[in-house]
């Protein structure tokens, strides 16, 4: 069995240690892209010391590409971003299609800024609000479509009924209304059921 030394661990850490792109790295990456194109990332990364293929691609696509605009956002862009997040959600890879001069990272950061300034509602909060609104709407539709109990047209006899200790229809209605006002419409049916 081979023993691992601290030198082995340091070598592994050095290979996996992420280093930030320096100004020189950025310039070198731009020159390599001019030479090999922005689709040959393995070849580009071979010439970038301590940088992996993915790091080179993401650095260029998110920060260095000449097609990107890192200038101020317009009101139109802000509104479009808010609208797209409401419709699509926080799927930045899909939303980026609506912003040809912005990177996914730029779009995501802008949305976070809009949320923090209160100009946009976080997607999670808006999703919960939409869910509550949907439930409220479903309840209202159910309430409108549910049958309403209609009073029976036949007038019951109330006079001198021993269990109620009331003698007139008016007294009976008043007694029931005191306990449950919503029963006014169902009074006649209630009385019919109990054969009063």
Same domain (yes/no): 123, 159: no
CA proximity to 156, closest of 182, 176, 131, 178? 176
Domain count, the chain: 3
- Both tokens assigned to 51: 């940088």
CATH value at residue 41: 1.10.10.60
Per the structure, the complete domain to which residue 42 belongs is given by 17-64
The answer to whether residues 78 and 140 belong to one domain is yes
- Same domain, residue pair 55 and 116: no
For residues 140 and 16, what is the distance between their CA atoms, to the nearest angstrom?
A: 58
With respect to residue 1, please indicate whether it lies within any of the assigned structural domains: no
User: Looking at residue 3, what DSSP letter applies?
Assistant: P
- Last-in-domain residue among 64, 80, 101: 64
Looking at the structure, tell me whether residues 44 and 89 fall in a common domain.
no
Q: What is the pLDDT of residues 19-39, one digit of tens each?
A: 899 999 999 999 999 999 999
Q: Which burial class, exposed, middle or buried, applies to 60 when counting CB atoms under 10 A from its CB (0-12, 13-18, 19+)?
A: buried
Q: What is the rounded distance in angstroms from the CA atom of residue 2 to the CA atom of residue 80?
A: 59
Q: pLDDT tier at 155 (50, 70, 90 boundaries)? A: low
Q: Is residue 9 part of a domain?
A: no
Tokens of 179: 């306990």
Q: Residue 170: inside a domain, yes or no? A: yes
If asked whether residues 130 and 140 sit together in one domain, one would say yes
Whether residue 69 has pLDDT greater than 80: yes
pLDDT at 2 over 90: no
pLDDT > 70: what percent of the chain? 53
Tell me whether residue 45 is in a domain.
yes
Are residue 30 and residue 82 in the same domain, yes or no? no
Q: Name the DSSP letter for residue 62.
A: I
Which of these, 157, 154, 182, 193, lies nearest to 172 by C-alpha position? 157
DSSP string, 108-170: HHHHHHHHHTTSS--HHHHHHHHHHHHHHHHHHHHHHHSPPP---SSPPP-TTBTTTTB-SHH
């Amino acid at each position: 069995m081979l023993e691992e030394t601290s030198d082995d661990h340091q070598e592994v850490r050095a290979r996996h240690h992420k280093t930030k792109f320096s100004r020189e790295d950025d310039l070198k990456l731009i020159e390599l892209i001019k030479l090999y194109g922005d689709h040959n990332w393995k070849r580009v990364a071979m010439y970038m010391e301590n940088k992996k293929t993915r790091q080179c691609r993401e650095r260029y696509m998110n920060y260095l590409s000449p097609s990107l605009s890192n200038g101020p956002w317009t009101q139109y862009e802000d509104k479009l971003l808010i609208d797209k997040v409401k419709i699509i959600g926080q799927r930045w890879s899909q939303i980026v299609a609506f912003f040809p001069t912005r990177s996914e990272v730029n779009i995501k950061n802008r949305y976070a800024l809009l949320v923090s300034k209160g100009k946009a509602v976080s997607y999670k909060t808006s999703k919960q609000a939409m869910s509550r609104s949907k439930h409220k709407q479903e309840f209202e539709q159910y309430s409108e479509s549910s049958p309403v109990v209609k009073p029976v047209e036949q007038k019951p006899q109330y006079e001198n009924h021993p269990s109620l200790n009331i003698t007139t229809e008016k007294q009976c209605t008043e007694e029931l209304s005191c306990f449950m006002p919503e029963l006014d419409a169902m009074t006649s049916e209630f009385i019919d059921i109990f054969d009063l």
